[in-house]
Amino acid sequence: MLMPTLASGKDSIYRATRLLFLGIIALLMASPSFAQGSRRSPAIWSASVSPASARPGEVVTVSVTAKIKPTYHLYSVVPVPPPGPQATELTVAGVGLKAEGAVTETAPKQVNDPNFSKTLGIHDGTATFTRYLRLSDAAKPGPVTLSVSVRYMACTESFCLPPTTASVPAPAFTVEAGGPRPEYRNPPAAAVAAPLASPVMLVEDSGTAGGSLLSFLAAAFGAGILALVTPCVFPMIPVTLAFFTKQATAGKPGQEKASIVPLAATYCLGIILAFTAIGAVLAATVGAAGANRFAASPWTNLVFGILFIVFALALLEVVEIRPPAFLQRGGGDRATGTLGVLGMGLTFVVAAFTCTAPFIGTVLVAAASASTGAQWVRPILGMMAFATALALPFFVLALFPGLLAKLPKSGVWLTTVKGSMGFLELAAALKFLSNTDLVWQWKALTQPMLLSLWAVIALAGAAWLLGLLYIGFNTPDRSPTPARRVGAGLFAALAAYCFWGLSGRPLNDWVVAFLPPTNYGYGVSEGSQASADEPVFLETLEAALAQAKAENKPVFIDFTGYTCTNCRWMEKNVFPVPAVKSELEQFVRVRLYTDGGKDGAKNQEYQEKVFGDVALPLYGILTPDGKPAARSAGITRDPGKFAGFLQKSRTRQTTRNREKVRERSV
């Protein structure tokens, strides 16, 4: 059984240090930017609509003007590759209206922006953004109310405010009877969408599928290499080699080299079989859909989060975790022969569990969260790669025993590495707990809270390496070595990066994808992210199909997950791109979560049945009568490619409609 033992010592210094870090957390939580960001409004927005009275089939022009306060500037509607600012985005919605073309803007100034060290299009003083919308031919006479919002980012020459969304009051317009007038029949030529591509049948996966498996196996192998330097594994290398030699020479003088190699191979085989069996059991018991549910389950993430905290405390020697006594005796002198060595390999797996469990958990969760097909083989292959990396040194040293003398001896350096890993595991634990928070909608681990906690952990790691923070039995002394100083500097840099994000400055897109959405938390209106960054999505398939049938439009299904990092990346970096956003507006859109909520299991069943995959993200296209027409699985970093997928899918539906009309006329 696991036996935790509390550490003690240097109480007064420990209490003082703890109060210091609690004070830092309190200051962060008291900061106005911590919960809601800056309250300053750097721009005043107003909207106008033309014409005041529109007829069915005409184009309505909505112009939104920003009066920008001195020293501030906003950014162009053209997205900038990272690192870059939030492009200005105008969203207009109203009954019977469909976006026509792209958003236009007054000519931006091209300047070298010191905040991002690149030439960008900016607006200062006054700027106008315009959206064109076509009124449905079936629009009935009467008033039409518009919902207008702007997503923008404001900066000065020295700092930037966080991206924010402004709701802009817009006057209603009236629908009057009559045919469309020539002057309002079409938007300006520059705003008209590009011609449609030739009709195709498109069912595609992103180009990341093959590379994704290779990168996953490389990551699993790398996790095994890292596990080798943990204190549960590294000291066992010379001890195990000595055991091999003893077994090899028992009764066979002078034949050490001839018999130690097969024994080492057997030992390695025991390690690989044990870890691979874990992956095989997961694959056989839960399957592809079950593996995804396992990885996305809030209970799974909660358990892993707690385990990571426990193991982090064990690595920091705040608690001690010991395997059961019978396992500690399993590798004793009684273990002889091939079966004994094989059993010792299996015992090693359990004895090293304290240090390898975080790596195992990461590999299994990554396998279950795969965004490509054949997920059932990933746990097996991933654990095999992990175990191979872990077992390989034993076999190599058996072939070349002279290398053993060149290995560094375990000692203080290993304790330092172990403690540093403890802080990293605490940070990783917060990500698992954040997934649980997102699925259950606790709204406790918001983006500012997570960044703040990561910053505190990083500062604690730096202080521990410098001997200023006492935790556990073996805190480093106050005379740090150069290596410890470098490690402390890296931790301090991580903390500074977190504070950079808390100040409202942009973070790397992949870091943002790991964080909760910016609009997640209490005091933020539901759906604000969707209305700002992308067209509005419906929440149920039934509602989407009903609207699609009524409007004779195809359906775009976003199969997503609360815990899906790639989904967040697509939503932030691909959906808002004007070409993609313009295409999305031609569909009835619905977002189906497959990893939580009351309909998660049902949505995932539907995804697997209709589109033959449980990958996340997966984007499916249905005809207005609910038949599958196309799909795109996985993440794509090319917005143009994704826009092309949408355009081709829509073209195919348009062609089908024309063929049906032709058939009826015949």
pLDDT one-digit tens code per residue, 244-289: 655 555 544 444 445 667 777 887 888 888 878 877 776 666 544 4
Instruction: Look at residue 10 and tell me whether its pLDDT is greater than 60.
Output: no
Instruction: Look at residue 25 and tell me whether its pLDDT is greater than 50.
Output: no
Q: How high is the mean pLDDT of the chain?
A: 75
> Tell me, what's the pLDDT at 284?
61
> Tell me, what's the pLDDT at 544?
94
Say if residues 44 and 66 touch (Cβ distance below 8 Å). Answer: yes
Q: Is 293 among the domain residues? A: yes
Q: Which of 346, 365, 356, 361 is nearest to 321 (CA)?
A: 356
Say if residues 173 and 54 touch (Cβ distance below 8 Å). Answer: yes
> Tell me, what's the pLDDT at 100?
84
| Domain termination residue (choose one: 172, 191, 210) | 191
Instruction: Look at residue 339 and tell me whether its pLDDT is greater than 60.
Output: yes
Instruction: Indicate if 76 and 24 belong to the same structural domain.
Output: no
Instruction: Look at residue 494 and tell me whether its pLDDT is greater than 80.
Output: yes
Higher pLDDT, 501 or 473: 501
Instruction: Look at residue 335 and tell me whether its pLDDT is greater than 70.
Output: no
Instruction: Indicate if 388 and 499 belong to the same structural domain.
Output: no
Selection from 2-6, 100-104, 215-219, 662-666 with the highest mean pLDDT? 100-104
Q: Is 209 among the domain residues? A: no
| Rounded Cα distance, 602 and 615, in Å | 15
Cα separations in angstroms, 376 against 207, 209, 291, 372:
20, 15, 8, 11
Instruction: Indicate if 275 and 337 belong to the same structural domain.
Output: yes
Average pLDDT value for residue range 633-642: 83
Q: How many structural domains compose the chain?
A: 4
CB neighbours of 9 closer than 8 A, spacing ≥ 6?
470, 473
Q: Is 545 among the domain residues? A: yes
| Domain termination residue (choose one: 481, 511, 541) | 511
Instruction: Indicate if 65 and 11 belong to the same structural domain.
Output: no
Q: Is 196 among the domain residues? A: no
Selection from 308-312, 432-436, 612-616 with the highest mean pLDDT? 432-436
Q: Is 200 among the domain residues? A: no
**CATH code of the domain containing 128:** 2.60.40.1250
Instruction: Indicate if 150 and 286 belong to the same structural domain.
Output: no
Q: How confident is the model at residue 321 (pLDDT cuts 50, 70, 90)?
A: low
> Tell me, what's the pLDDT at 238?
59
> Tell me, what's the pLDDT at 285?
60
Q: Which domain holds residue 656?
A: 531-665
Instruction: Indicate if 390 and 473 belong to the same structural domain.
Output: no
| Rounded Cα distance, 577 and 587, in Å | 16
Instruction: Indicate if 581 and 535 belong to the same structural domain.
Output: yes
Report the relative pairing of strands 104-105 and 126-135 from DSSP bridges: antiparallel
Q: Is 151 among the domain residues? A: yes
| Domain termination residue (choose one: 347, 372, 407) | 407
**CATH code of the domain containing 581:** 3.40.30.10
Longest dimension (CA), the chain: 106
Say if residues 595 and 619 touch (Cβ distance below 8 Å). Answer: no
Cα separations in angstroms, 343 against 269, 334, 360, 367:
10, 11, 20, 28
**Letter for the amino acid at 362?**
T
Out of 120-124, 196-200, 384-388, 641-645, which region has the weakest mean confidence (pLDDT)? 196-200
> Tell me, what's the pLDDT at 130?
93
Say if residues 476 and 465 touch (Cβ distance below 8 Å). Answer: yes
Instruction: Indicate if 239 and 370 belong to the same structural domain.
Output: yes
Report the relative pairing of strands 59-68 and 43-50 from DSSP bridges: antiparallel
Instruction: Indicate if 150 and 174 belong to the same structural domain.
Output: yes
Per DSSP, the chain holds a count of helices (H) and strands (E) of 20, 19
Structure tokens at 91: 């969203």
Q: Is 285 among the domain residues? A: yes
pLDDT tens digits for range 566-609: 788 888 888 988 889 999 999 999 999 987 777 888 888 888 77
pLDDT tens digits for range 460-472: 999 999 988 888 7
Instruction: Indicate if 17 and 101 belong to the same structural domain.
Output: no
Q: Considering the entire predicted model, what is its pTM?
A: 0.49
Average pLDDT value for residue range 200-225: 61
> Tell me, what's the pLDDT at 538?
93
> Which residue shows structure tokens 């022009």?
61
Instruction: Indicate if 606 and 491 belong to the same structural domain.
Output: no
Instruction: Look at residue 547 and tell me whether its pLDDT is greater than 70.
Output: yes
Q: How confident is the model at residue 110 (pLDDT cuts 50, 70, 90)?
A: confident
Higher pLDDT, 304 or 3: 304
> Which residue shows structure tokens 């009467």?
142
Average pLDDT value for residue range 399-419: 65
Instruction: Indicate if 494 and 634 belong to the same structural domain.
Output: no
Q: Is 480 among the domain residues? A: yes
